Amino acid sequence: MAKLIQSFVIVCQRWISDIEGVFERTHCDENDFVAYGTGQLRGQARDWWDNLKKEQGIEATRTMTWEEFKVPFLRHHSPKAVINKIIEEFIQLRQKGESIDKITGVFLEKLRFCDSLVQTEKQKIYYYYNMLSVEYREFMTPSRYGHLTEIVNAAREREIELKKQIERGERRALDANPSPTKKQRPNETPKKGNTKGGSPQCKTCGKPHRGECYFKNKPCPTCGKVGHVASSCPGKVSVCYKCYNPGHKKSECPELIGDNETTDTKIEAPRSKARSFHITAAEAKVEPDVVLGTFVVNSIPARTLFDTGANRSFVSHRFIQHPTFTLTKLHVPLEVEICNNKSFIVCDMCRDCKLSIDDEEYFVDLIPMSMGEFQVVIGMDWLSRHHAKVICYRKEIQITSPSGKHVTIYGEKSCNPIVCSMMEARKLVQHGCKAYPTYIHDSTEESPEIKDVPVVREFEDVFSGKIYRGYHPSVRWSLESC
């Protein structure tokens, strides 16, 4: 209903503008403005004009000027409450997957009612820039443009480039119309027909697929047990984002319940927004726009993911338990959006953490959150600061160090192990290949006991007495306990 009223108000404003354009093109006399304009009214607007003539009289309406006509017309068809609602929506307008032409049309429609708020061209550019999504804003600078048309054209050029990157597989395609559908709980029984492509829903990971589940024998990163994933782990410890104590959620916080008893309404503080994506290590090795590796963070080796789809950098809750990490309170709570339209609130941050790459230290601000296989996720805030260039098909990231040196980060790639003989391995090492000694134990087999170790004396028919040559027969060996 509110949207219908707003659209009616916009139509009235457009009608006024169109009629005044006709007056200007036809050189109509000012005394005939009201007569000609009211002759174009239809429907409810015509009924309103007939009622106004009865109230004020035919003579009063006949001598009415165009400016005097617009005052009651706009007062009736454009209520102040609706105008204020449109101004509020204009301030909060954000691009969420819409095309540049569509979001620009909405922007200009609402801009018509914001003359008191937006008075200069610089203010128009400022509000238009803040409306765009991060994929556009990170490559644009508002101070470079002198007119609104210039920044609109720049956004269109960036839109064409983004489409090319998606076609080449260099960027993930974002959902243009995200629908906040009802999310199914981990322990909830799926409804009939809740399958993807006819595949049943897996009881382990909760996703529809056929065959054996990849997570069936994989231990949970939270509790170490098999049979479930981290999102549905029964041993997962929830932390309250109000009092920061474990054991309950923010909605169940005693402090929040106490505040609700004393105050009926609560003014919610403004929140910043961040975005992150959750993928596994196996997926990271094949994704073109992420780079995976092990790096030292605060002198601790960490499984690190460089993700161009995250606009902030993150660290796991378990990893920051080390005393080298210090949590600081954020001035404004941060709303972090992850996959499947899920989001949560963060109030702490680890500032100025030291990331060591090629014997140089880089400072990065990390947001704590629950993660699966990675300890640290480096997002676009750090990558853009160091002028990162991502080469997707080689899975490399080229950055500029604080000293001005160009550094290349090589990510892990998916590959199949090659089994070779000892003779081949020896030749490879002689030709300069690097060899790393490893100790491999088959966890499916039991460890051998002392009684399983063969003893030489038990095989006298195989080993002759010559094996004892070199030892004097008068020497007696004994084993004494200390």
Concatenated DSSP letters of 336-390: EE-GGG-EEEEEEEEEEEEEEETTEEEEEEEEEE--SS-SEEE-HHHHHHTT-EE
Per-residue pLDDT at 237 = 62
pLDDT digits (tens), the chain, 482 positions: 455 555 667 777 778 778 888 888 888 888 888 888 888 887 777 888 888 888 888 788 888 888 888 888 877 777 777 777 888 888 888 888 889 999 998 888 888 778 778 888 888 898 898 889 888 888 888 888 888 999 999 999 888 888 888 887 766 665 545 444 444 444 444 444 444 456 778 877 778 877 777 777 777 777 777 877 777 777 666 667 677 677 677 777 777 765 554 444 444 444 445 545 566 666 666 666 678 888 899 888 888 888 887 888 888 888 888 888 888 888 777 777 776 566 777 888 898 899 998 888 899 999 888 777 788 989 888 888 888 888 877 788 889 888 888 888 887 766 666 778 888 888 888 988 888 877 676 777 777 777 777 777 777 676 655 554 444 555 455 545 44
- pTM over 0.85? The answer is no
Domain boundary among 78, 113, 130: 78
The span from the CA of 206 to the CA of 226, in Å, is: 14
Q: Does residue 241 contact residue 248 with C-beta atoms inside 8 Å?
A: no
Q: Are 74 and 88 part of one and the same domain?
A: no
Residue 214 placed within a domain = no
Q: Are 60 and 138 part of one and the same domain?
A: no
DSSP 106-162: HHHHHHTT-TTT--SHHHHHHHHHHHS-HHHHTT--GGG-SSHHHHHHHHHHHHHHH
Q: Is 442 exposed, middle or buried (0-12, 13-18, 19+ CB in 10 A)?
A: exposed
Place of tokens 């049309």: 105
Ramachandran bin of 97, using left for φ above 0, alpha for ψ from -120 to 50, beta for the remaining angles = left
Q: Are 67 and 147 part of one and the same domain?
A: no
Q: Are 161 and 57 part of one and the same domain?
A: no
Per-residue pLDDT at 278 = 60
Please enumerate in sequence order all residues whose Cβ is within 8 A of that of 463, keeping only pairs 6 or more positions apart, or say none: 456
Sign of the torsion formed by the C-alpha atoms of 464, 469, 471 and 474: positive
Residue 147 placed within a domain = yes
The span from the CA of 33 to the CA of 17, in Å, is: 13
Q: Hey, what's the torsion of the CAs at 151, 155, 157, 158, to 10 degrees?
A: 130
DSSP 58-79: HHHHHS--HHHHHHHHHHHHS-
SS3 305: strand
Q: Are 285 and 383 part of one and the same domain?
A: yes
Q: Max Cα separation, the chain?
A: 144
Q: Are 24 and 150 part of one and the same domain?
A: no
Q: Which of 126, 118, 114, 51 is nearest to 88 (CA)?
A: 114
Q: Are 19 and 117 part of one and the same domain?
A: no
Please enumerate in sequence order all residues whose Cβ is within 8 A of that of 378, keeping only pairs 6 or more positions apart, or say none: 304, 305, 306, 307, 313, 355, 364
Q: Are 150 and 27 part of one and the same domain?
A: no
Per-residue pLDDT at 193 = 44
Domain boundary among 410, 445, 465: 410
Q: Are 33 and 94 part of one and the same domain?
A: no
Residue 192 placed within a domain = no
Per-residue pLDDT at 353 = 92
Per-residue pLDDT at 470 = 47
Residue 395 placed within a domain = yes
Q: Are 159 and 280 part of one and the same domain?
A: no
Tokens matching residue 124:
């128009």
Per-residue pLDDT at 179 = 46
Domain boundary among 43, 78, 113: 78
Please enumerate in sequence order all residues whose Cβ is within 8 A of that of 205, keeping only pairs 6 or more positions apart, or say none: 213, 214, 215, 229
Q: Does residue 344 contact residue 241 with C-beta atoms inside 8 Å?
A: yes
Q: Are 105 and 71 part of one and the same domain?
A: no
Per-residue pLDDT at 263 = 47
Q: Is 315 exposed, middle or buried (0-12, 13-18, 19+ CB in 10 A)?
A: buried
Q: Hey, what's the torsion of the CAs at 370, 375, 379, 382, to 10 degrees?
A: 130
Q: Does residue 204 contact residue 229 with C-beta atoms inside 8 Å?
A: yes
Q: Does residue 183 contact residue 342 with C-beta atoms inside 8 Å?
A: yes
Q: Which of 372, 270, 256, 264 is nearest to 314 (CA)?
A: 372
Residue 360 placed within a domain = yes
Sign of the torsion formed by the C-alpha atoms of 445, 451, 455 and 460: negative
Q: In total, how many domains does the chain have?
A: 3
Q: Are 43 and 107 part of one and the same domain?
A: no
Q: Which of 179, 126, 133 is nearest to 311 (CA)?
A: 133
- Which structural domain, as residue segments, surrounds residue 280? 275-410
The helix (H) or strand (E) run that includes residue 177 is none
The span from the CA of 130 to the CA of 120, in Å, is: 16
Residue 87 placed within a domain = yes
Tokens matching residue 272:
């910043």
Q: Is 125 exposed, middle or buried (0-12, 13-18, 19+ CB in 10 A)?
A: buried
Per-residue pLDDT at 420 = 82
Place of tokens 């080689």: 394
* CATH code of residue 403: 2.40.70.10
Residue 385 placed within a domain = yes
Residue 268 placed within a domain = no
Tokens matching residue 87:
């101004």
Q: CA dist 439 to 132, 329, 434, 436, 442, Å?
A: 54, 45, 17, 10, 10
